Structure 1
Amino acid sequence: MTRRAHTTPAQPKIEQQNAVAVARKAQVKVKTSSRPKPEPAPVPSPTTLKAPSGKLSILLDHVVQPVGATIDELADATGWQRHTIRAAFSRLRQRGFPIAFAIDPDGRKAYRLDPKEG
């Protein structure tokens, strides 16, 4: 059995004028948008916020109290797991509710509405 040698096809010769035309086509044009960027929506204050319903309202009812609510109290009230409650607080903060985490002098860790932010 004999082996055949692989040959590569010959490259076509490009004339100088064609090389310039190919180089021009290869340049990438950057399009600029003439439309202005939309401005972010203003964050509403807590007094004008629409109160959520369902279990989110249960969370807010507990957090509004002056002593606030611990994560265990909120888990008992809603039946949610701790990470779910923290995620709900994250979404409520995005909606504009100033929920803060505070540690009392006696060591109690509680979530409550932060009047400084509202």
Structure 2
Amino acid sequence: MTIDISVRTQQLEELQKALMPLCELLRLDKPTYWLAHFEHCLQTTDQFLAHGFDQTSLNELSISVRNVFGGMGSFNDYVPPMKTKESSAWYQKYDNPENIIGLVYSNALNLMVVGVCHG
């Protein structure tokens, strides 16, 4: 089974759209490792969209994004900042951090091989 490059591009765009608000939220919080990790994932996504990618690169990105989920001390334990004056605009725009976090994970999972990327 082959997967058209346009499908993978759309999947990358969906991941990008989920990573952007997650990074915005993490910037509102005290500095953590998570911000650096997800900003790196966003930069990688941006680079792939600008310069191209292959399936191996998508697999590596997917694993990198999803690697921080699961287990003690993982991103699953992250508690988003409370709704404050500084974060109220984010909450008005995106409402629920858990939804954004779930989208990041599921959109990264979508990049994994279920066929061969074909351009």
Q: Given the two structures, how large is their TM-score scaled by the length of structure 1?
A: 0.26
Q: Given the two structures, how large is their TM-score scaled by the length of structure 2?
A: 0.25
The answer to which structure, 1 or 2, has the higher relative contact order (CA under 8 A, 6+ apart) is 2
